[in-house]
Amino acid sequence: MSARVLAGPPTAEALLRDAAQRAGRLPAVPHLAIVRVGEDPASVSYVRGKARKAGEVGLRSTVHVLPETASQAELLALIAALNTDDDVNGLLVQLPLPAHIAEAAVLHAIDPRKDVDGFHPLNVGELWAGRPSLTPCTPAGILFLLRHHAIPLSGTRAVIVGRSSLVGRPLAALLLEADATVTVAHSRTRDLGSVTRAADLLVVAVGQPGLITPDMVKPGATVIDVGINRVVDAQGKGHLVGDVHPDVAGVAGALTPVPGGVGPLTVAQLLANTVHAAELQAAGHLQSGTSSGDRGEFVR
C-alpha cells in the first residue's frame, strides 16, 4: 500500500483562485505591507517570495525594510503609520526580529484588523473562543488542504506533534472548531508512539527529520508533515526533508510530501488572509459610513 499524496501546489492554486475571486468583489485591490528588519537571508528570501506571490495573484504589496540596528521605537513608529494608512489592508512583520526588539510588543502593536499573520493576542483569543477570523497561515492552510481533499474531521482523533504558537497551538484550536478530538503532543510527551498510533489524523510540526516512523502511525491515517529540515546527503548535496520518515508512505492512507506539501499553502493562506482583512475593513467602513464616517468597528 502506498499513501495518497496530498500535493500542496494544486491545492494552493485552488485557495488562491478563491481569494482572487473574493478580491474582485472588493472596492479596491487589497494591499499587503510587509516589514522586514535586518538582512537575515531566510527572512529576505521569505519576504521576497510573499511579495512575488502577491503580485502573481493580482494583489498589491509593499516591502518596508529597516536596518538591523533600528530601535524598537522606530519599528513601532513604522507600524503605527501603516496601521493608520487606509490604503494598507494587511500588515505583517517578518519574524524573527533582532534580539534587542521585543517580539510581543511588536505583535501587540499591529492593528488586529490588519494582522494577516494572526499573531495579535486579540486574534489568538478570538480563535480559542471559537470565533476564528484572521488565523495563522500554516494551520489555516492545513485546514484548507484537509477540506479540499475531503478528509473527514468531525469526530476523528487528531494528534498534533508540536505546540508552537506558529503551528501546533492554533491548529489545535482550528481542529477543535472542526469537531475533531484533539491531542497535542510535545517534547515532554512520554511514549510518543502510543499517542500518535491513536491518530486518524496526525500532524507533525517539530523540526526533526524522520521523527515519525512507520510503527508510530495507524494504518490508513492521514499524515500532514509540516517539518522543513535541511539535510546533507553522503554526496554532500543539500535536501529539504520533513519530520516524517519516507517509509510512513507504506502505512498511511494519505500523506503530504516535503517539499511540495504544506509549504505552498502557507503563502497562499497569507494572501487569502490579506483579502479577508480587506473584507473586514470594507465591512467596517460601510458600518461607519452610516454614522460618523470614521474608521468603523472591528466587524467580524
Binding site for ligand NAD (CB under 6 A): 138, 161-164, 166-168, 185-187, 189, 192, 205-208, 226-229, 262-263, 266
Residue 173 or 206: the one with the smaller Cβ distance to ligand NAD is: 206
Minimal CA–CA distance to 35: which of 101, 86, 97? 97
Catalytic residue list contains 281:
no
Q: Enumerate residues 6+ apart whose C-beta is below 8 A from 300.
A: 126, 131, 133, 280
Q: How far is the CB of 51 from ligand NAD (least distance, A)?
A: 17
Contact criterion met (CB below 8 Å) for 37 and 98: yes
Residue 45 or 69: the one with the smaller Cβ distance to ligand NAD is: 45
Q: Does residue 219 sit in helix, strand or coil?
A: coil
Catalytic residue list contains 94:
yes
Beta bridge partners of 90: 32
Spatial distance between the Cα atoms of 221 and 236, rounded to a whole number of angstroms: 34
Residue 112 or 170: the one with the smaller Cβ distance to ligand NAD is: 170
Q: How far is the CB of 107 from ligand NAD (least distance, A)?
A: 15
Q: Enumerate residues 6+ apart whose C-beta is below 8 A from 130.
A: 176, 177
Spatial distance between the Cα atoms of 141 and 170, rounded to a whole number of angstroms: 11
List, as residue ranges, the binding site.
162-164, 228
Q: How far is the CB of 223 from ligand NAD (least distance, A)?
A: 14
Spatial distance between the Cα atoms of 71 and 60, rounded to a whole number of angstroms: 28
Beta bridge partners of 181: 157
Cell of 185: 503532543
List, as residue ranges, the binding site for NADP(+).
162-164, 228
The pairing of beta strand 238-241 with beta strand 229-232: antiparallel
Q: How far is the CB of 142 from ligand NAD (least distance, A)?
A: 9
Residue type (1 letter), 205 = A
DSSP assignment letter at 243: S
Spatial distance between the Cα atoms of 151 and 143, rounded to a whole number of angstroms: 10
Q: How far is the CB of 23 from ligand NAD (least distance, A)?
A: 22
Name the catalytic one among 53, 114, 115, 117: 117
Residue 140 or 167: the one with the smaller Cβ distance to ligand NAD is: 167
Residue 82 or 167: the one with the smaller Cβ distance to ligand NAD is: 167
Q: What are phi and psi of 5, to 5 degrees?
A: -90, 125
Name the catalytic one among 50, 53, 114, 218: 50
Name the catalytic one among 53, 94, 115, 269: 94
Question: Active-site residues: which are they?
Answer: 50, 94, 117
